[in-house]
Amino acid sequence: MPKWTKDIEAVEATTQATNGNSDPAPQWKYDVFLSFRGVDTRVSFLSHLSHELENSGEIRTFKDDKQLEIGEDISQSLLTAIEESRSAIIVLSKNYAFSAWCLDELTKICQCMKGKKRILPIFFDVDPSVVRYQKDTFGVALQKHARSGRYDIVKVEQWKADLTKVGNLSGWNLKDYKTERDLIEHIVKFVLKTVRQNT
């Protein structure tokens, strides 16, 4: 079993123990919110992952199929969907950080984590350290945003902090699996187990 999977299951056990005597969990509209960069993953991996999650018959999934034009802000309906989701799967691909829209989703997801949400990162052809320290394409993307003049320094620094936070979380690394299908099957099983434990 890959190390990342072991870490995730350990977090799950800790969460259950911690929340054992807490107030009843809120009623979520969605079990999973999918955050992704379409240019990297939409056609193959993301479409298959979304299909398998929904095909389980028990996992309510939110996947936004719209593409914002350059300069558009993330919509309020999308922010609301994040608030109404039990957990978030973030597909961290090479071009993820080039999208300000994706980074705004990430920030909102990190904010909602304080409300006992679950953040589940997938490192898709990207090493966790690249996300954690904003190296390679992630570093280039943040520099591009900072130099564009469209985003103030506070927002850019928040994006960096949230990428560091998510890069430090346990998740799934594509390189630990023989095929994308194997990874998807494992993710669906894990999410399904989590949903059943909370119903």
Question: Rounded distance, CA 106 to CA 176, Å?
Answer: 24
pLDDT tens string for the chain (199 positions)?
Answer: 555 544 555 445 444 443 444 455 567 899 999 999 988 886 789 999 999 999 999 999 999 876 444 444 668 888 999 999 999 999 999 999 999 999 999 999 999 977 556 899 999 999 999 999 999 999 999 999 999 999 999 999 999 999 999 999 999 999 999 999 999 999 999 999 999 988 7
Other CB atoms closer than 10 Å to residue 118's CB: what's the count? Answer: 22
Looking up tokens 């350290």 gives 129
pLDDT for the residue 192: 95
Question: Rounded distance, CA 175 to CA 106, Å?
Answer: 23
pTM as predicted = 0.83
Q: Say if strands 85-92 and 30-35 run parallel, antiparallel, or are unpaired.
A: parallel
DSSP state of 35: E
Specify whether the backbone of 161 is left (phi greater than 0), alpha (psi in -120 to 50) or beta: alpha
Looking up tokens 């379409």 gives 38
Q: Three-state SS for 131?
A: helix
In this structure, CATH architecture of domain 29-127+170-197: 3-Layer(aba) Sandwich (3.40)
CB 132 within 8 A of CB 167: yes
Longest dimension (CA), the chain: 49
Active site residues: 105
